[in-house]
Amino acid sequence: MDVHDLGEGEPEVAVVGAIHGDEPCGARAVRRLLDADLDVERPVRLIVANEAALDAGVRYLDVDLNRSFPGDPDAEAHEERLAAELLDALDGCSTLAIHSTQSYAEPFAVVDSMDEVARAVAPHLPVDAVIQTDAFTEGRLIEHPHTLEVEAGLQGSEGAADNAYWLARAFLAATGVAPAPGAEDVVDAGGREDVEVFRLRDRIPKPEAEAYEVFARNFERVETGEAFAAAGDEQLRADEPFYPVLLSPYGYRDQFGYVADRVGTLE
């Protein structure tokens, strides 16, 4: 784990990249923040988490780090030890964790629940959607207080790396750490009320097949009876209306993605 503290005092804000080693955009954002020589007004901690998996170009070495929290410092698995170390480094911090997906090119935010930090920060991020995942957060970093995840874009793409940096800059501005680019001071960029909020309701199982397709688009309503995916020659149709989230043919081993409900917009 590579940790850099900027500013004087104990950080109360943190940015974390490379929780998954096959998602380099967060690590690239952290390094770009370090290269930017930021004039910080609050101390901030910048972390590249799973360096070993990042160097190997794999999601994890032993077990998925983002299913291993709170971790165990005495565990045999590398990621279980790392989870405990990372949580200790993030103690007391409002945290942005940067990820990427195989399902959607535009950035969106993921929270366990809409706590005060999520409500204060999310409207200032360059995202059009916030996903509440409280039914599916076991072992994930966002299960812990004052943590937001962002999905920066398609895994391994230049777009995701660029989005990750600007998401981090927006987060640092929203938490009073550093000015937004082009501003002389930390500024309130103004909250947005048009950010849609979705809540995950269920997983979409993936039957065994030699090939998979998806027909629906993430965050766009699927109507009853509509075909939204296929496993081989079998089409999957909606039993009731829903919004697909993280829907992709090969992003997950045993599921297409998630069924979600649209619950409103940020207020």
Residue 184 lies in a domain: no
Do residues 255 and 127 share a domain?
Answer: no
Tell the burial category of 144 from Cβ atoms under 10 Å away from its Cβ (0-12, 13-18, 19+).
middle
Do residues 87 and 165 share a domain?
Answer: yes
228-253 pLDDT tens trace: 999 999 999 999 999 999 999 999 98
Do residues 33 and 70 share a domain?
Answer: yes
Residue 170 lies in a domain: yes
DSSP state for residue 76 in the 8-state scheme: S
The CA distance from 100 to 11, in Å, is 25
Residue 18 lies in a domain: yes
Do residues 210 and 166 share a domain?
Answer: no
Distance of CA 132 to the CA centre of its chain: 11
Distance of CA 120 to the CA centre of its chain: 17
Do residues 12 and 126 share a domain?
Answer: yes
Beta strands in the chain (DSSP E): 2-6, 13-17, 44-48, 94-101, 108-111, 129-132, 147-154, 196-205, 212-214, 227-231, 234-237, 243-245, 255-265
Do residues 159 and 83 share a domain?
Answer: yes
Provide the pLDDT for residue 199: 96
Q: 188 pLDDT exceeds 50?
A: no
Residue 191 lies in a domain: no
Would you state the structure tokens that stand for residue 232, as one six-digit string? 């081989």
CATH of the domain at 255: 2.40.50
CB 114 within 8 A of CB 153: no
Residue 186 lies in a domain: no
Q: Provide the domain count of the chain.
A: 2
CATH of the domain at 90: 3.40.630.10
Residues 6+ apart with CB under 8 A from 183: 173
Do residues 138 and 207 share a domain?
Answer: no
State the angle between helix axes of 25-35 and 158-174 in degrees (0 to 180), rounded to the nearest 10: 60
Domain extent, residue 152, equals 2-175
Do residues 214 and 251 share a domain?
Answer: yes
Residue 38 lies in a domain: yes
The CA distance from 42 to 8, in Å, is 8
Residue 139 lies in a domain: yes
Q: 182 pLDDT exceeds 70?
A: no
103-128 pLDDT tens trace: 999 999 999 987 887 888 988 999 98
DSSP state for residue 37 in the 8-state scheme: T
